[in-house]
Structures are given as C-alpha cells and as structure tokens.
Copies of this chain bind each other. A is one copy, B any other.
Amino acid sequence: MNKSKIYDNILDIAETLIQTQGYNAFSFRDIARTIGIKTSSIHYYFPTKAELGKAVVARHIDTLHAELVQVLENEAISYKKKINLFLNSVFSKTYASNRKMCLGGMLASDVLTLPETIQFEVRVFFNRIEKWLEQLLSQGKTKGYFHFTGTAKREAEFILALLEGSLLLARLFQNEDKLKIARKKIESHLF
C-alpha cells in the first residue's frame, strides 16, 4: 500500500545523501532540515538509521532490477541497445545529476562501517546486476551479437568493475569524458 508521501520523501533524500556523501556523512538532521520536519519524526517512519539505510538500498534494488528485467525481456530492443540502456541506468543517470556516485559503489566503499543488514543488501545489489548482465552477455554471445572471449560471468565482472571505477574518477575530476572512455572500452570489447 501507499506508505505516505513523507515516507517516500525521506527515502528519496536519504538515497541522494548516501550517493553524494556516503553513509557515515549523512544524518537524520540533514533529512529533517530538507523536508522541514524534526528528526524525531523520521524515527517514526524509520526507528533506526540502519533500517532507513536498508530500506533505501532495498527500494533501489527493486526499482533498478524491474527496469533491467524489462529491458532484457523486450525482444524489440537490439542487444547493442540493451547494453546502452544498461550503461545509461547505472551510469549517466547517476553521475549526470549532481555528482552522484552509484549507490552500491558508495556503500561498497563504506562497507566496513555498515550495519550487517546493509552490508548484506549491498552484496545483493551487485549480485543482481551482475547476474542480469551475465545473462544478457551470454544470450547475446550465443546469438552472435557479442564477441568477447572468456565466460560471460567474467565479462560481467569486468564491466561492473570498470563502471564503478570510472564513475568514481569521473566524479572526482568532474570530467564526463572518463565515462565516455569506459563506454567505448566496453563497446569495443563486445562488438
């Protein structure tokens, strides 16, 4: 059911804060100030920071995954286009807006300081994406659209790692060219 507008609002702001500043740098205060409520009101919706964090990642996974599954299943979309849609989701969409890092990548760097429940979700995040990508690569290779060497799993791992690193450095230098370079490298690997 509808979990109220404020509930979603809190999640939205928390998500943005994690993507820009990281888990340890954001506070209930930041969120409260932005919405115009008190921190105790946030505790009404999310008893602890750990639960808020977990909810942010869980929602993010669901949204992204639903999006990706639709792309994979749509036979009207070419394989080249599918890869491009994927890169857009994880890439330009996050970075282009306000120097956001990938949510999973940000939390991966905070991993040793995260509550275990959130650590778990972060791994789910990457497992899901990797699995999806592996499937796409595998299918595309069988059908003759992709031409990489090695397993689809390895290729998926490679692409994900390159993606995360490129986002990190593009953001640091505020240089979108670094994203383009990664994109081209990935494409030159597959086509």
A residues sitting closer than 8 Å to B (CB atoms) are 20-22, 24-25, 99, 101, 105-106, 108-113, 122-123, 126, 154, 157-158, 160-166, 168-169, 171-173, 178, 181-182, 185
Known contacts A25-B24, A109-B105, A169 near B160 by CB under 8 Å: yes
Contact A168 B109 (CB under 8 A): yes
Q: Chain B contacts of A106 at CB under 8 A?
A: 109
Task: Please tell me which one of the listed residues B22, B166, B169, B182 contacts residue A110 in the complex, with CB atoms under 8 A apart.
Answer: B22
Task: Please tell me which one of the listed residues B122, B161, B168, B178 contacts residue A182 in the complex, with CB atoms under 8 A apart.
Answer: B161
Chain B's closest residue to A125 (CB) is B172
Known contacts A106-B109, A109-B101, A157 near B172 by CB under 8 Å: no
How many angstroms from the CA of A112 to the CA of B109 in the assembled complex? Answer: 14
Q: How far apart are A97's CB and chain B's nearest CB, in angstroms? A: 13
